[in-house]
Structure 1
Amino acid sequence: MFNHAYFVAWFQRLLDDVSALQKTNAIIVLDNAKYHKGLPDDTPKGAWTKARMLAACETYGIELDVKEYRSTLWAKLKTYVAANVVPVIVQMAKDRGHDVVFTPPYHSDLQPIEMVWSFVKGAVGRQYDTSTKFPDVRERLDREFDRLPSSVIFDCIGHTDRKVVDMAAYLNAVAEADDAAGAAYSSESESESDADSCDECNLGDYGGDE
């Protein structure tokens, strides 16, 4: 069954392979699948008893009052966990000198592997006929991966790189527009403030008609 434990074991082999290639400071990009973000087994959970939550608060150095409700303790622990406890694989990578980053939700187009997978599935699907059995699908899948052209992988990565560049340019443009709008608003506010001040001036002090 493909779950968090299975993925952690696979990720360990991946890190070993990266080390065997003598690669350092690698950046591993993943999507937001739940099994990618599993926390350590001893991470506090909302279903814990009050006694366990009290012990966890003491372990983490969180201020508490033993008279507090369990819901209050959980609110404190939940905030602490969100800010300080990282997914298992993130810590595994960090311990080996690498970083794990997650793409924004609903942006599979930022994952080259998704396009590679689509290419391979298409090749396997076109071989289907009424006599196809599951072992045939597995055999064809392995064969298509083995003969996957490096140019396809290169193109998929290039497509993602261009997508990231376009998104970065868009975000920078939005930020610049916001800054410009803020500056214009600030200037307008200052002008209105100056005008209000002039309304209070005694023009007679400057030789004006009384």
Structure 2
Amino acid sequence: MSVDSSWKGLIRAGGISLLAAGAIVIIFILSVFIFQVQLPLDAQGFLDYPLPPTILFCLAAFGEFLLMPGVLALYFSLKDINKNQVFLGAAVWFEAIPMFLVSRGQVISLITVAGNYAATADVTMRAAYLATTHLALEVANVYTIMALDLLGVGAIIIGLIMVKGVFIKKTAHIVILAGILVVMGTFGVILEPLTIGTLFGLILNGIWQLVVGLKLYKLSGNT
């Protein structure tokens, strides 16, 4: 299947962005285990060792920013199947991105607080910095949960459209499953065992973003 030549540049850029975003997801997950970063972040742990989580969340923010051209590429490659449905899926997925960025920004900004915490020996000031960090991380977690829900729902909608499009059905099914697992994982705040869904959902997200990104890149070269 070929695409409208006027959108080929955008689809190519989106494919490259999705490839990079998928790779970043995998790198992020591996780095969490390698550097033993506790997720969700603990306030005291962050203040004691702020550099590893700060670097990881900078990486995550960059990967999530790359989803913007990726979702646009998906829209223009699938819009001929069901324009309204793909617009809904893309819009829901797109809304997750600023929420992710706000959440990551909350964490990254705490590097200054961690520096102040390390520089003072005053017990009262340390307690204040700890409370500030705890509150900021709680706010970041709320934004992350909302973003994951939107990302999951958007992936489910887009996956259902992919079944009818240029992507092989197995890929579409992985997209749908990833979305379901991510949404399921956010209910871990109620039932903790469900949080494992987030991990597996994000792994599948990284995989399908790599596969779909490559497909979009190749699709943009069709004539």
| TM-score, L = length of structure 1 | 0.29
More helix by share: 2
Higher CA-based Rg: 1
| TM-score, L = length of structure 2 | 0.27
Q: Which has the higher contact order (CA 8 A, sep 6+)?
A: 2
